[in-house]
Structure 1
Amino acid sequence: MSRPSADAPTTPPTSRAPAGRRGTVRRRLLVITELAVVALVLSASAAHAETTQVLALAGSIDQVLTNIRNWVMGILAGLATVFLSIGGVRYVMGGGDPGEIEKAKTAFKAAGIGYGLAALAPLVVTVLQGIVGA
C-alpha cells in the first residue's frame, strides 16, 4: 500500500457525479413536463375545431366587444394557468436550488399578473364601449 506524498492533497474525494446526474435528470424531466403541457394545450384547441363553416355575424358592436372580452379572458386565464403549472413544477423539482426557486417565483408572479389582467378584461371592454359610443 502506498502512502500519499507530502505534496498530494489529503482531502476526501467528493461525490459530484450523483448530484450532477440528479440535476440533469431533473432538468430533463422539467423540459419533458413543459413540452407535455404545451402539447396538451395545443391539442386541446385543435380537438374542438369544427368542420362546418359558420359566418361570424354579430348583431351589434356590443356583441363584438363581448366576444372580444370573452376571448381575451379565456386566453389570459389559460396562459396564467400554464405559468402557474410551470412554476409549481419548478418549485417542486428545484430541490432547494435558489436559482430554480427564483424561476418558480417569477412564473408564479407571471401567473398572478395574467389572472389579474383576465379579471380586468371586462373593465377594458367597458372603456372601449365608452370610446366607441355603444
Structure 2
Amino acid sequence: MYRTVVRVTARVTFVGAVTTAVLVSGGPVYAGEPVRLAVNDLPTVISNLTNTVTTLLAAVATLFLTIGGFRRVTSGGDPAEVEKSNQALRSAAIGYALAVMSPVLLTLLKSIVGS
C-alpha cells in the first residue's frame, strides 16, 4: 500500500512539475512557425457555416422524407401510421425550407456583424 502511494505521489509530482515548467516558459516551443488556430476571417467562417448548415439540413430533411415515404407505403391504411407518415413528411418540408433559407439567414447575419 505504501509503495502504491509513493508511486502515485511521484507521478502527480512529475506531471505538476512539467505543467508548471510549460506554463512558466510561456507555452510549448515549436521547431518552426507556431500553429495558428484561427486562420480564417469572419466572412469565410460564415460562408463555411452556410455550406455546412445547408448540407446538414438537406440531409436530415431527406432522412425524414425517406422515413415518411416508408411509413406511408407500409401503413396499410392504418390511420395512426398515416398520421405518423404525414408528420414525418411535414418535418421534411420544414427541413427543406430551412435549408433553402439558411444562406439568406446567414447572409443577414454577415451583414449585421459588419463584414
Fold agreement, TM-score > 0.5: yes
Please tell me the residue identity of whatever aligns with 1:67: N
* Alpha-carbon distance, 1:57 to partner: 4.7
Matched, 1:83 2:64: yes
2:44 to 63, 77, 80: 63
* Alpha-carbon distance, 1:61 to partner: 1.1
* Alpha-carbon distance, 1:66 to partner: 0.5
Please tell me the residue identity of whatever aligns with 2:105: V
TM-score (norm 1): 0.57
* Alpha-carbon distance, 1:104 to partner: 0.3
Q: Where does the alignment leave 5 or more consecutive residues of structure 1 unmatched?
A: 1-54
Structure-1 residue corresponding to 2:112? 131
RMSD: 1.7
1:95 to 76, 91, 109: 76
Larger Cα Rg: Structure 1 or Structure 2?
Answer: 2
Question: For residues 69 and 57 of structure 1, what CA distance do their matches in structure 2 show?
Answer: 18
Question: For residues 56 and 84 of structure 1, what CA distance do their matches in structure 2 show?
Answer: 38
Please tell me the residue identity of whatever aligns with 2:62: T
Question: For residues 56 and 75 of structure 1, what CA distance do their matches in structure 2 show?
Answer: 24
Evaluate the alpha carbon distance shift between residue 58 and residue 67 of structure 1 in structure 2; reply closer, same or farther with a 3 A threshold.
farther
Q: Where does the alignment leave 5 or more consecutive residues of structure 2 unmatched?
A: 1-35
Matched, 1:119 2:100: yes
